[in-house]
Amino acid sequence: MPCPDPNTRSPSPGAVFHLRSARRWVRARRSKRGLTLIELLIVLAVIGILASIALLLYYNFTYQAQIARAMADIAVLSSEISTFETMNERLPSDLAEVGRAALLDPWGSPYRYLNFALGPVGQQRKDHALVPINTDYDLYSKGRDGGSQPPLTASASRDDIVRANDGQYIGLASGY
């Protein structure tokens, strides 16, 4: 009978089990490597969707802030025009007479002022029934698109910020 070599031993039953579980772990790990790319793509897609939603909300928030600023500017201008009218017993011919010719709306355009006593007939802003929305003067911003038409129902005028009902309403033309 040959003499057993002391350097070679047969694996114990626990070591065989440990080796088998390690092999299973390696196989499972290899199969998961293929899924990590898919998982990464899914995570990137979710992040992209969330980022686009956040961006849309940000743009909507900034647009609402621009509208609020234009409304506040128009209210201040209306007050200054009223003060000018009280002091001079007439409406100003333009915004320069009240010192506001350089005032720009949030979209970078000058505010529009039309004194009905001086302006051409037919240029007044009109509601859906084509009735003038003011009796003394028009004061408005052309809004985000920079375009405007006298009737508020025109597509170019829907985003305008207007003074209507002789100052009782200041807001979006689409809301009047």
Tens-digit pLDDT profile for residues 36-74:
788 889 999 999 999 999 999 999 999 999 999 999 999
Which residues, other chains included, contact 164 with Cβ-Cβ below 8 Å and sequence gap of 6+?
125, 127, 133, 134, 170, 176
Q: In angstroms, what CA-CA distances link 87 with 80, 82, 92, 136, 151?
A: 11, 9, 11, 16, 32
Q: What is the pTM of this model?
A: 0.72
Report the C-alpha gap between 106 and 60 in whole angstroms: 14
Q: What is the pLDDT of residue 128?
A: 86
Residue 6 clears pLDDT 80, i.e. is over it = no
What is the set of domains in the chain, with CATH numbers? 68-175 (3.30.700)
Tens-digit pLDDT profile for residues 80-96:
999 999 999 999 999 99
pLDDT band for position 9 (50/70/90)?
low
Average pLDDT, the chain: 86
Least confident of 10-19, 121-130, 158-167: 10-19
